[in-house]
Structure 1
Amino acid sequence: MKQRLIGNRNVGTIGFGAMSFGGMFGATDEAISLSCLDAAADAGISHFDTANVYGLGVSEQIIGKWGRRDLHLATKCGIINGPPRAVRNDEPYIRQCLEESLRRLKREHVELYYIHRRQPEIPIEDLAGTMSKLVQEGKIGGYGLSEVAPSTLRRAHAEYPVTAVQSEFSLWTRLPQLGLIQTCRELGAAFVAFSPLARGMFGREPLKRDFREGIDFRDTNPRFIEPNFSANLAVIAPFRDLCAERGWTVPGAALAWVLAQGEHIIPIPGTRTADHLRDWQVADLDATDIAEIERILPAGFAHGDRYSDQQMAFVERYC
């Protein structure tokens, strides 16, 4: 697998998002999850991303049990699951969460530590100062921010350099192209694209709306609620036809489009099973292919917002 840079570390161009190990998309099985991690590493994936709220620590525990050390690992803190949902960015809370995560991960150090959501009441400069202390103490290799505005990134970076910024980015979620991707490039921060396969919409087969109520987070997500869900399937169908015609997997073409948007972009698709990893073989796209994909799926094609009002809590809006 080709390499891209996070901080001063080269990692595979495709990373791995471990949110699904925590049950966000349905029940999980530890043995299957461990087998999936093995297969991901065998495929050349070296950057793995988790968080303390994914299954209330379950995802971190699985990675800790896996026990691999030859990887670049990111975890996060800052979200307090509700209801109501809340965030905390004060130094004592961040330190407490980090120690808890390190215990679950069976580590003394993590390569990248994100603030999952920003707490508006705490100046971003103070937060950057807290994270700089953790770097200097050797607890973390670098720090990142998630779902922030370009202005927040600039302020934080001026206080202490930001290693990476994570936001949703895919063919159907293009907001980061309105400033955040460009700011990351300018400042030398990696842009980590989560949900690059649109939470399964760019999976091997068209999704069916059989999400488990109260378990699968898509059940209440506007883009997966009718009539939006059927409308989105219809818009994406010609893209699936194009992939079949060109011999690409649908996930492989969607990932290739994301990678083509900047050399500093690292997508982190996720899966619960090793079976889906073979679909992530990145398609070889040229400029004509990219133009055709964007003709079929132009910016703004999605029906429905990417989050519900509740899910949007503490996501910074800048456009």
Structure 2
Amino acid sequence: MQKRQLGPDGPMVGAVALGTMNFVGTYGDTTPEDALRCMSACLEMGVDHFDSSNIYGAGRAEELLSRFLKDHGDRVVLASKCGITRRAEQPFDNSAAHMREALEGSLRRLGVDHIHLYYLHRHEVARPIEEVMETLLAFRAEGKIGAIGLSEVAPATFERAQAVGPVAAVQSEYSLWTRQVELGMLQATGRSGTALVGFSPVGRGIFARELPDPATFGQNDLRQGMPRFSPEHWPHNLKRLQAFRSFAADLGESPATLAIAWLLSRGPQVIALPGSRSIAHMQDNARGAMIDLSPQHLDQIEALLPIGWAHGPRYGAAMSVGPQAYC
């Protein structure tokens, strides 16, 4: 697998990373044993950057990951996050006290004394990003984290943070059906050499080998609250997706492979962050970092799925609180 740098001074990691949210019931159930087998298979594929958060499964994702790190921690570049509380009265808390409590909890659950990359998961709007950066820089000075990341922020917030200290990575949703980052964040990270870690590059499963059926989503499936899967919008999206799937088949590739390869073509700083419980799905994802799409192929993809093609917003009202909008 090709390697990409995790920030200007960061380590080289596989261009495809592994998100661990899927292992704790976000899109359906799995067993710890299946999750651990998937992690092992990913590492052998060259996927060596594992991403988690203190809120995934209320800490269960980090606890599960700790079991894998006991034997393979020396081969994994580890990322986690803080800043979301899940409290209705205060969903985001970027205070130094809360962030320190979250960090100590993550270190304990992960069974480590150092996290290579630590993200602010969501920015608390009322708290200046400069203050938050000072807290993260203090964690780094203490040796508890190696590098600082920001998640779902606007380019202006990123640039203010950069003025205080180095930001190694920005994590944003980025795929063929969610391209807001091309309105500033892609350019900003390209200028600074900051890694742009695109999560949900397979579009919440729409580019998997089997198209999802929204009618079968379980009660706890995160996609239940996403308008693009609603009866109003899904039929329109399905037509475009079927055309893309036919194109992928003509090339002899899975839709996921093609979607990942497209994402990685957007810039040398881009890293794909899919999450999956399936070894087969991760094989498709990893292959996306092993093929190069020609300019003609990229033009054909753009014609099939032009920017702005998706019907419906990516999030409903509840989930839209937190990610920073821009442009």
Common fold: TM-score over 0.5: yes
Partner deviation per Cα, 1:33-80 (whole Å, 9 max, x = no partner): 000000100100011111111100111111101122111110001111
**1:221-244 deviations in Å (ceiling 9; x for gaps):** 111111212221111111100010
From the superposition, tell whether residues 16 and 173 of structure 1 become closer, same or farther in structure 2 (CA, over 3 Å).
same
1:85 and 1:235, CA in 2 relative to 1: closer, same or farther beyond 3 A? farther
* 1:248-277 deviation per Cα after TM superposition (whole angstroms, max 9, x unaligned): 111000000000000000011110121222
Partner of 1:252: 257
- For 1:139 and 1:161, the matched residues in 2 are separated by 16
CA RMSD of aligned residues (A): 1.0
| CA positional deviation for 1:121 | 1.3
For 1:48 and 1:236, the matched residues in 2 are separated by 29
The structure 1 segments of at least 4 consecutive aligned residues displaced by more than 6 Å after TM superposition are none
Amino acid at match of 2:259: A
Deviation of the 1:128 alpha carbon: 0.7
Is 1:212 matched up with 2:208?
Answer: no
The offset of 1:82, in angstroms, is 4.0
Whether 2:300 is the aligned partner of 1:274: answer no
Distance change >3 Å, CA 196–CA 85, structure 1 → 2? farther
- Look up the match of 1:124: 129
Deviation for aligned residue 1:84 = 5.6
Secondary structure, in 3 states, of the residue corresponding to 2:58? coil
Matched, 1:158 2:163: yes
Please say if residues 221 and 308 of structure 1, whose CA atoms lie closer than 8 Å, have aligned partners that are also in contact.
Answer: yes
Question: How far apart are 1:284 and its partner, in Å?
Answer: 3.0
Q: 1:172-205 CA deviation, whole Å, 9 max, x = no partner?
A: 0010000011111112210000000000001111
Task: State which of 308, 313, 316 in structure 1 corresponds to 2:316.
Answer: 308
User: 3-state DSSP class of the match of 2:115?
Assistant: coil
Instruction: State how far apart, in whole Å, the 2-side matches of 1:219 and 1:171 are.
Output: 20
Corresponding letter in the other structure for 2:127 = I
Contact 1:113–1:144, Cα closer than 8 Å, also in 2? yes
Displacement after TM superposition at 1:85 (Å):
6.4
Match of 2:325 in 1: 317
* C-alpha distance in structure 1 between counterparts of 2:87 and 2:205, whole Å: 25
- Distance in 1 (CA, whole Å) between partners of 2:149 and 2:122 is 10
Mapped partners of 2:3, 2:260: distance in 1:
15
Give the partner amino acid of 2:35.
S
Residue 11 (structure 1) aligns with? 13
Query: Per-residue CA shift, 1:77-123, capped at 9, x if unaligned?
Result: 11111446610001111111001001111100000000100001111
- The one-letter amino acid paired with 1:56 is A
Instruction: Give the Cα–Cα distance (whole angstroms) in 1 for the partners of residues 93 and 12 of structure 2.
Output: 31
Give the one of 40, 43, 46 matched to 1:41: 43
1:219-258 matched pairs, under 5 angstroms: 219-258=224-263
**227-236 vs 94-103, which moves further:** 227-236
SS in 2 for 1:81: strand
Q: Which residue of 1 aligns with 2:107?
A: 102
Please tell me whether the aligned partners of residues 22 and 56 of structure 1 are also in contact (alpha carbons under 8 angstroms). Answer: no
1:146 aligns with 2:151: yes
Instruction: Give the alignment partner of residue 175 of structure 1, picking from 180, 188, 193.
Output: 180
- Counterpart-to-counterpart distance in 2, 1:20 and 1:85: 25
Write the distance in 1 (CA, Å) between the matches of 2:52 and 2:90.
19
After TM superposition, the structure 1 = structure 2 runs for residues 68-87 of structure 1, keeping only pairs within 5 Å, are: 68-69=72-73, 70-83=75-88, 86-87=91-92
Distance across 2 between alignment mates of 1:65 and 1:80: 25
Aligned length: 318
Query: Once the two structures are aligned, what percentage of the paired residues are identical?
Result: 40
The alpha carbon displacement at 1:27 in A equals: 1.7
Is 1:289 the equivalent of 2:294? no
Q: 1:285: Cα distance to partner? A: 0.8
* Paired AA for residue 234 in structure 1: K
| Structure 2: runs of 5 or more not aligned | none
Gaps of 5+ in 1: none
Matched residues in 1 for 2:238 and 2:89: separation?
Answer: 32
Aligned residue type for 2:324: E
Q: Which residue number in structure 1 is paired with residue 2 of structure 2?
A: 2
Q: Is the 8 A contact 1:23 1:54 kept in 2?
A: no
Equivalent position to 1:60, from 56, 59, 62? 62
